[in-house]
Structure 1
Amino acid sequence: MSLVMSLAPETSWPGQPCPSCPPQFTPLQWPKETKVLTPTRCRPPALDAGLQAIMVILLLFWLVQWICYYIKVYLDKDLSQRTGTLKEFVCRTVEQCVRSWRAMLWAALQQWLFWAIAGTLVLLLAHCWRLRKRISVVDNRRDSEREESEEELPTEKNMIWIISRHYQLSVPKLASGRRVVEELLSDLLQVSHSLFSDSFFPVLQPAIGVGSAFEGWSHHKEKDVVYCMFVPLKPPHGHAFLLEPDTMGEMSQRSMRIRVELVCTCTRKQPDRNMLCFLHHSEEELKRNQMASLLHTLCTGPYLDGEKIALWFQTVVISAWSMLPQSCHYSMKVLPSCRSCKVKLMKASGRSFIVEIVFSVQQGDSDIFLSSQPTEAQFPPSTTWLESYAVAEAKFFRQVAMQAPPHSCHLKCLRLCARILEDSGLSIYALKTSVMHLLTLIPLSEWQHKYFLMRVDDTLNYLRCCLEEARLKHFFFGNEDMPEEISLPPAFQEAQPLNLFQHLAQNPAAQTEALNKFYKFECDLFFGF
């Protein structure tokens, strides 16, 4: 009973104060209207804040210990298996990352290519627009300049057309003819090398095209064009060429003789076992076991003979023609010539070519050669070789063609003047020399086609002044304006210029006659239409 009473909650009854509650009303002080209260349980007091914090810390500490213990037990069970699983997971994750990055990079690259192409197209369109604008401006300028030139010189084009028709200045088909001739000479020289490889004839070098046909200004009609080819000669084994000035004859053009000397072949680094030395073997042994030397075949005395060389090469052409591929398309005829080999090629269609093969010997490493071909004014002995500048002239015109503006009129000017002065008595070489001087005096930019009549007038004025003074300087002697590409012997720069009109200076009557003819042809040009 007492235990039950002790465990029973404390109750308050009316008229008795609660020991745990503050006294508010006493039973005697209650108002009469106050109702009797039923018994109620008293609220326990709240925990202190410090005690609550300690309990939370203890709970967290216990939780951390439990997690550490669980991890330790979990990892100790199968560490190797879980490590492999972790590695697989990491690898799979890395592969997925790589794939995702690759996809992102490819998408970015595609976008970059797209924008790059788009930007390039935009730049191209802008550049085309600018070019079109510039072209329109240039065309407008050209139209205005053309209108001004037509207003200033309304008959200039008509004048050029009339002159071209009158003098028949249509350019012959030189390019195709040059190709045919060059191929012919290349094949012919190759066959000749095989035929005379064991002999002691001169060694034929690659041919060089010279003359007006290869310079591009021939004033002849196509059927009358002569394609001239220089074939340089080298001494065979055991021989040497020595150039000696010709002091025997009196000629305005420089000339030399070519002495042939025998050379010992015993001391050569690579001696030919099949060749006997001409100096150290007896004549009987040489006649019995070896071909004759050059001195006994194509020389007159110790000097190389141009006529004998021409005759020998003509026989070479006749014997080798059947072995050439050109024999299937052309028929060949050797024309009479004493110092050169002149042949005529005829095609079934009627087209023909005249080829003149001139033999020459080079002076050192220069562009000056000694030629076997005599000039119209001079016919020296067959052992005298005239100095020729044809190779240097052809090289000069090639250099001018490379540096001159397109459609330059220098070749047309040369061709027209050659037609005008064809019967004037002046040599074509004097005319070509005058034009070469003018090409070094007048800038090449002033040789455009629109200045054609001016350049023709300059050429004729230059020739007239030279005739009046009876003096025309040679182009390759003492010329300070010589292009560097042309190789000349050292003595040429220091030598006094040769006078191509020396014969007029020595004959005043011939000079007066030449001037009168020149005036007549000049008047026919400008007042005869």
Structure 2
Amino acid sequence: MALGLFRVCLVVVTAIINHPLLFPRENATVPENEEEIILKMQEHEQKLLLEQLRLEEELRLAVETEAPEQVAEEGQQQMESHTAWDLWSTLCMILFLVIELWRQDHQDGLSPECLGGDEDELPGLEGAPLRGLTLPNKATLDHFYERCIRGATADSARTREFVEGFVDDLLEALRSLCNRDRDMEVEDFIGVDSMYENWQVDKPLLCQLFVPFTPPEPYHFRPELWCSSRSVPLNRRGYGQIKVARADMDALGCICGKTKLGEDMLCLLHGKNNLVRPSSEVEDLLCARGSPYLDTMQVMKWFQVALTRAWHRIAHKYEFDLAFGQLDTPGSLKIKFRSGKFMPFNLIPAIQCDDSDLYFVSHLPREPSGETPASSTDWILSFAVYERHFLRMTTKTLPEGACHLSCLQIASFLLSKQSRLTGPSGLGAYHLKTALLHLLLSRGATDWKAGQLEARLHELLCFLEKSLLEKKLHHFFIGNRKVPETMGLPEAVHRAEPLNLFRPFVLQRSLYLKTVDSFYEMLKNAPALISEYSLHVPLDHASLPQKPVVL
């Protein structure tokens, strides 16, 4: 018994010592694939079987040579030894599996092998966070901000005023063409994103406008949130579906939906034929085929047709042309002046979630994130209105001339220039804003004085680097218990599990490598870029219009 336990312990200790991750040696390597791991586990199993056969042979010899009583006693001890051996063999296998799972989990984190097999693929992992970044002094940053950012966005107020006036006229024309008994009811637009949060830096200035719409009576939209249920797959959290229901067919308002009626009994409200969901123009126009849920592609087609008809109604009043900017985006529009200049803006069809400031949108005009909706009936849950309210509420508590928006503008400027040099990556302006919102919630108001611009910008970039290395950046509102209750978020959003915006990096190694490489390249170029633009502001040729599709 003691000898068997000693052998088991010896096997376990030997396995642990020889494990390449726990005690690495010069020529030791981590198994590169699962087949090698399986082969080693099979070899270990064969060794255990051979050891068991040897013990059985020793027991047989003992039975032949010793007295029956002694043999019976030792046989019982040997059976106990077998039981202990089986137990220790099981524990040994479990231990190997735990070590292997821990090794794989470690590789999924910061191990260079899982990211590309070569440390050179991640240029910033070998050093401390932002060790190579030396930001210019406050005077240079202030000069850069005044010359390149404040000057470039000085006409944002006039741009908003012009676009809003035109969109008001366009939506009014759209309403005049709609049949109130059959068509959607279009509400007033809502300005969101950087132009309405005062941190827009890219040229040309771009207005993002939500256009809420509701169905005609007796229909209504019934949103279904997917941010609080654990049964929802991770790739569908942050989305939802919108069911088109009839008020006169709502089972909650009639007993026929709760009771099984006999063949000779009819519901006086619904009748016999109405118990089956009827086919209507609204459902056929906007819902997926054979489904009561709104389809984003169907809504896109309806919205584009409606905008085209509305523009043709008022085109004679204006001395410019209106064109679609991108065919795969329902409300991407461009105003084309005769001088050759253009003014882009986005009209995004949206559906309000109950009585909150949450909106479901068919798309978001952001940088590539690596994930797409699993179905055309999946709608993106947008917190853009809440984000605007939070920034406005926080600004009131900060010192005059606070640097929080300046930090976001400078970081967004650097990211935009880097994207034009190396192409877009998985890191976008929305991630920068999310990082800033987290910092605003964790730091006191006095930390955002104008003189703290350099420190806060460095902290923002450090926060982004840490999030990239951990592949984890939580959504600011979903599952964040620190958000003030005065924001009025729905309870389902508070109770939800935190949503990781960097989840695509866990699943897509190539996207992650490109993003990390682009981020460190941006940090490397930042000092020279800021100094160069402080002295000279080059012409921005990236905003030249492409050939549009005229309505």
Q: Same fold (TM over 0.5)?
A: yes
Displacement of 1:490 in angstroms is 0.2
Q: Which runs of 5+ in 1 are unaligned?
A: 1-152, 267-276
Counterparts of residues 172-251 of structure 1 (less than 5 Å): 172-221=154-203, 223=204, 225-244=205-224, 251=235
Aligned length: 359
1:274-295 residue CA offsets vs partner (Å, 9 max, x unmatched)? xxx9966989xxx9xxx95311
What is the TM-score with the length of structure 1 in the denominator?
0.60
Counterparts of residues 480-491 of structure 1 (less than 5 Å): 480-491=481-492
Matching residue of 1:452: 453
Identity rate, percent: 28
Matching residue of 1:317: 307
Matching residue of 2:293: 303
Q: Partner letter of residue 364 of structure 1?
A: D
CA 1:447/1:163 → structure 2, altered by over 3 Å: closer, same or farther? same
Distance 2:517 2:324 in 1: 41
Distance 1:442 1:193 in 2: 46
Distance 1:167 1:187 in 2: 31
Equivalent residue in structure 2 for 1:398, among 392, 395, 399:
392
Q: Which runs of 5+ in 2 are unaligned?
A: 1-134, 251-267, 420-424, 532-551
Equivalent residue in structure 2 for 1:263, among 238, 247, 267:
247
Matched, 1:359 2:352: no
Distance 1:209 1:389 in 2: 13
Distance 2:525 2:324 in 1: 40
Distance 1:428 1:154 in 2: 22
Matching residue of 1:86: none
Distance 1:362 1:455 in 2: 35
Matching residue of 2:540: none
Alignment check: 8 A CA contact 2:190 2:210 kept: yes
Distance 1:484 1:346 in 2: 44
Q: Secondary structure at the match of 1:471?
A: coil
Displacement of 1:432 in angstroms is 0.9
Q: Secondary structure at the match of 2:372?
A: coil
Displacement of 1:505 in angstroms is 4.3
Alignment check: 8 A CA contact 1:404 1:445 kept: yes
Alignment check: 8 A CA contact 1:263 1:278 kept: no
Q: Secondary structure at the match of 1:476?
A: coil
Matching residue of 1:408: 402
Alignment check: 8 A CA contact 2:219 2:245 kept: yes
Alignment check: 8 A CA contact 2:407 2:457 kept: yes
CA 1:297/1:154 → structure 2, altered by over 3 Å: closer, same or farther? closer
Distance 1:420 1:176 in 2: 25
Matched, 1:378 2:371: yes
CA 1:154/1:480 → structure 2, altered by over 3 Å: closer, same or farther? closer
Distance 2:188 2:280 in 1: 25
CA 1:462/1:265 → structure 2, altered by over 3 Å: closer, same or farther? closer
Displacement of 1:334 in angstroms is 2.7
Distance 1:359 1:326 in 2: 25
Distance 1:278 1:338 in 2: 43
Q: Which moved more, 1:455-464 or 1:298-307?
A: 298-307
Displacement of 1:435 in angstroms is 0.5
Equivalent residue in structure 1 for 2:331, among 337, 341, 354:
341
Q: Partner letter of residue 454 of structure 1?
A: A
Alignment check: 8 A CA contact 1:413 1:456 kept: yes
1:230-263 residue CA offsets vs partner (Å, 9 max, x unmatched)? 1112221011222246789762542222121223
Distance 1:248 1:441 in 2: 30
Matching residue of 2:321: 331
Which of 1 and 2 has higher RCO (CA within 8 Å, sep 6+)? 2
Matched, 1:438 2:443: no
Distance 1:520 1:336 in 2: 30
Matched, 1:463 2:464: yes
Matching residue of 2:412: 418
Distance 2:198 2:357 in 1: 19
Alignment check: 8 A CA contact 1:204 1:232 kept: yes
What is the TM-score with the length of structure 2 in the denominator?
0.58
Equivalent residue in structure 1 for 2:238, among 254, 278, 283:
254
Matching residue of 1:135: none
What is the Cα-based RMSD across aligned positions, in Å?
3.6
1:359-416 residue CA offsets vs partner (Å, 9 max, x unmatched)? 1112222222111115633333332211111221122222234443333322221111
Larger Rg belongs to: 1
Distance 2:248 2:166 in 1: 36
Alignment check: 8 A CA contact 1:477 1:498 kept: yes
Alignment check: 8 A CA contact 1:262 1:279 kept: no
CA 1:458/1:397 → structure 2, altered by over 3 Å: closer, same or farther? same
Alignment check: 8 A CA contact 1:306 1:339 kept: no
Displacement of 1:428 in angstroms is 1.8
Distance 1:279 1:402 in 2: 54
1:73-121 residue CA offsets vs partner (Å, 9 max, x unmatched)? xxxxxxxxxxxxxxxxxxxxxxxxxxxxxxxxxxxxxxxxxxxxxxxxx
